[in-house]
Amino acid sequence: MRQAIVLVGMMGSGKTALGRQLAQRLSLPFLDTDAEIEKATGMRIAHIFEEQGEAAFRGYERTKIAKLLAGEPCVLSTGGGAVMDAGTRELIAAKATVIWLKARLETLLNRVSKDKNRPLLKTDNPAAKLQQLLDTRTPFYNEAPIQIETDVKGFEETVEAMLKAVQNHQNTV
């Protein structure tokens, strides 16, 4: 692999589970932006949102993604909102093979509904919030040259589809 692979998509789209498996198949390290930010700051993501706000968090994301993409190739899972930052978008488009992992709203809701650690879903109506985030983010996710549905096929088949798409794409760049 010449380039890092960056996974974008909504919370609950399968970035972590699929990303880990993809990394294993490609013998690349798997990294998660949220986990790396928590390690570097010593703070939980929810705490950063509460104390410093979303804009500060997007700044941490951009800096961390830039640093990770300057290193050895890896599979990098990004937080669902990372694409909302223009600097982050430019960076990943220039330095990585970007995959948008897509899932229906119903699937996303099922996957994230029991998770208390997602600050943006601490609201009375998580379904409406998720829909609104998805609508706002879709034009930016859509910039990804590879797009894979994660709730149509089984897990292994989805990983195979990702592998195939990455190989095809990297042969053309």
Give the interface with ligand S3P as residue ranges (CB under 6 A). 11, 15, 34, 45, 79-81, 118-120
Min dist. Cβ of residue 80 to ligand S3P (A):
3
Q: Which is nearer to ligand S3P, 89 or 118 (CB)?
A: 118
Taking the complex as a whole, the smallest distance from the CB of residue 54 to ligand S3P amounts, in Å, to 8
**CB 58, min distance to ligand S3P, A:** 9
Residue 150 or 167: the one with the smaller Cβ distance to ligand S3P is 150
Best CA proximity match to 109, nearest among 32, 7, 10: 10
Cα dist from 80 to 15, 120, 122, 167, 169, whole Å: 9, 10, 15, 24, 23
Q: How far is the CB of 159 from ligand S3P (least distance, A)?
A: 18
The least distance separating ligand S3P from the CB of residue 97, rounded to whole angstroms, comes to 19
How many DSSP H helices and E strands does the chain contain?
Answer: 7, 5
CA distance 108 to 130: 8
Strands 75-77 and 146-149: unpaired
User: Which of 11/96 has CB closer to ligand S3P?
Assistant: 11
Contacts of 3 (CB under 8 A, 6+ apart): 73, 95, 96, 97, 170, 173
Q: Closest Cα partner for 62 from 92, 29, 94?
A: 92
Which of 86/173 has CB closer to ligand S3P? 86
Please say which residue, 130 or 146, places its beta carbon nearer to ligand S3P: 130
